[in-house]
Amino acid sequence: GYVDARLLVESKPDRDDTAAYARWNVVSFSDGVPGKGTGVPYFYLTTLDPTARNALKDHRSSLAISEYPLGTCSNADPESPVCAKITLTGRLVLLEANSKEAEFARTALFTKHPEMKGWPKGHDFQVFKLEIEDIFMINWFGGPKPLTVDQYLKYKM
């Protein structure tokens, strides 16, 4: 099922505490509308942010996601193998603005993050996607689980 992790987030750090804020703040993404995820992460980014600027020069990128913010790790430390974490590595690429995939991605993003629709037009937000090339996942003791990109993308919830 779909979980909105934003409801479980701790309070926002003081904006002047740069290190705390950097560790707390993350990029929002979506892989589809709730209940119909594709596994492909899409992002709505502006080149005012270095994430997009860097991706346009060097597509190599990774996205790390932890189960911890969902609050489902009991009392386990976020680094404990019983608290699942996944890193998707690949290429962060800009989608053609008028393509069907960009339209799908905007719907997916705006459904899960409605305020994105109202972000300033002058900031030139664009849709990017992570083309996944490798997956590293731990969800229990014993090291990373073998999982191919094909297995990951073909899985149906």
Q: What is the pLDDT of residue 157?
A: 64
Instruction: Decide: 69 and 45 in contact? Cβ < 8 Å.
Output: no
Do residues 157 and 37 touch, judged by C-beta distance below 8 A? yes
Q: What is the pLDDT of residue 4?
A: 44
Residue 63: count of CB within 10 angstroms of its CB: 17
Domains of the chain, first to last: 29-151 (2.30.110.10)
- pTM, two decimal places: 0.81
Q: What is the pLDDT of residue 2?
A: 40
What is the per-residue pLDDT for 6?
42
Which residues lie closer than 8 Å to 43 by C-beta, 6 or more apart?
27, 28, 29, 51, 92, 109, 127, 128, 129, 130
The strand order across the sheet containing 85-94 reads 42-45, 126-138, 85-94, 60-66
Mean pLDDT, consecutive 10-residue stretches, the chain (157 aa), reads 42 61 66 88 93 94 89 89 91 97 97 94 95 92 89 82
**At residue 127, what is the residue type?**
V
Q: What is the pLDDT of residue 69?
A: 84
128 in helix, strand or coil? strand
